[in-house]
């Protein structure tokens, strides 16, 4: 499932996009300690996000699709 979901650019400074071969139901972004930073319902094959307000560091992006869930690491510079 992980190879069916894409997160780019990574690393990034102010914007990232999530794409999937399957319909994305929702996306959550967590900081490295597990605190929910962003949550959005998508119901599409892709979604763009403004990350300019994020602090530099590592984040976990949880992508929930109609076929299951994938977690990807995102690095904000």
Taking only the tens place, the pLDDT of each residue in 25-40 is: 999 999 999 999 999 9
- Segment 51-77, tens digit of pLDDT: 999 999 999 999 999 999 999 999 999
pLDDT at 3 over 90: no
Q: Which fold has domain 2-76?
A: Immunoglobulin-like (2.60.40)
Residue 62 has a pLDDT of 98
36 DSSP β-pair partners:
30
Of the candidates 61, 52, 65, 69, the residue with the CA atom closest to the CA atom of residue 31: 61
| Interval 42-53 mean pLDDT | 96
Alpha carbons within 13 A on the beta-carbon side of 25: 8
């Amino acid at each position: 499932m992980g190879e069916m979901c894409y997160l780019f650019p990574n690393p990034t400074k102010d914007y990232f996009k999530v794409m999937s071969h399957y319909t994305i139901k929702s996306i959550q972004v967590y900081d490295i300690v597990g605190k929910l930073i962003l949550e959005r319902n998508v119901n599409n094959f892709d979604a763009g996000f403004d990350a300019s307000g994020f602090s530099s560091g590592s984040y976990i992006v949880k992508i929930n699709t109609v076929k299951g869930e994938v977690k990807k690491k995102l690095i904000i510079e």
